[in-house]
Structure formats: C-alpha cells, structure tokens
Amino acid sequence: AITKLGALLFAKNLNDFESVERKSVRVIVYKGKNKVETVREQIGVKGYALGFEGLVDWINSQLPANEEIGKALRTETRMYPEIAIRELVANALIHQDLSEKGFPMVEIFTDRIEISNAGTPLVTPERFIDAYISRNEKLADLMRRMGFCEEKGSGLDKVIFYNEFYQLPPINVIVSDNRTRVTI
C-alpha cells in the first residue's frame, strides 16, 4: 500500500502508479523562439525526490553557455542562473494542483525558458514574494527535509536576485484558467 505522496516522491517509475503517472515532468527544447520545431524532449519517469537533481542538471545542460578562456583553463558560464532554474522547478513541483489534469513542464526556447504547472496559485503573483502558502503541505515538508527546498518563501527572492545579477529581464508570471507559467 504505497500512498500517492510516496509514489510521487520515491517511484522508480511513475508510470507504475496510476494515481500519479501523468505528473511526470516533461522538458522540451525547441529550435527558435516558437514551438514549431522540437529539438529534443525528455519525460521524467522517476519520483520527484529520486529524479530532482538529475532533472535540474539535465535542464541546465540544455541551456546556452559562454566559454571563458582564462590564463590557463577554459570555464563555462551559464547564461541563466542555475539557482533560479532550480528554485522555479522546485516551485512548479511543490505548488502544482495535483487534482487538476496536467503535469509540470519546462520549455526551453532560444530566448527564454517557460516553467509551468497545473493549477492556479493560491496567492496572486503580485504577492509571491511576501506571502507563502503551500497547496501541498506534506509534499513541501518532505522535500524541505530532504534538502530540495527551504519552505520559507525565499525561493522567488533568489530567482529575482540572481535574475538581476545576470542582468536578465524580469521574470513574467502568467496565470491562465488551469495553469501557472513563469518565464525567465
């Protein structure tokens, strides 16, 4: 008897659990600024706790980077702050409405990244920085105890800080009928 929460976090394959099989994270990389041509697509199969680190690493590996040549070594600098990507993906997983149809999704375009999840937020986007309400308290609590989030409402502060540090335009939050999308 595995609970829905247990399957969502620890499943080796989410497809083995009917209650959460459609909650797998989907990452799509597009060629260009629209959805006309897909370069690659990855659909996660692991539970969020098992697959989170690999998911964030894979997303970051798909993002553009600059190569800087120092005195002796070459280093690669990402065009998007890795901590912002991590926080936005964690938020999409934790704050999704599990009762709604749909799944968390990351779409990578040449000029932006869109991270979305099923459901509308419990607070308005204007209050994201200073209000903290989690739709999935047990999920958030377990992910905090495992080190994937802090559960203190500082995630978006970090996103905005590092977004400005990287001199990127402000993030954009769009709430539609049953989906929340954040663009960086």
Structure tokens at 151: 């559960």
Residue 173, beta-bridge partner list = 182
**Whether the Cβ atoms of residue 182 and residue 173 lie closer than 8 Å to each other:** yes
Give residue-wise pLDDT tens across range 37-89.
999 999 999 999 999 999 999 999 999 888 888 777 888 888 999 999 999 99
Q: Which residue has the tokens 């009928």?
A: 177
- Secondary structure of residue 62 in the 3-state scheme: coil
Instruction: Give Dmax (Cα) for the chain.
Output: 58
pLDDT 10s digits, 136-177: 999 999 998 998 888 777 788 899 999 999 999 999 999 998
Distance from C-alpha of 14 to C-alpha of 108, rounded to nearest angstrom: 23
Q: What is the pTM of this model?
A: 0.91
Relative to beta strand 26-30, strand 105-108 is: parallel
pLDDT digits (tens, 9 = 90+) for 9-36: 999 999 999 999 999 999 999 999 999 9
Band (130; pLDDT cuts 50, 70, 90)? confident
Please give the distance of CA 15 from its chain centroid, rounded to a whole number. 20
In the prediction, which pLDDT does 176 show? 92
8 three-state secondary structure: helix
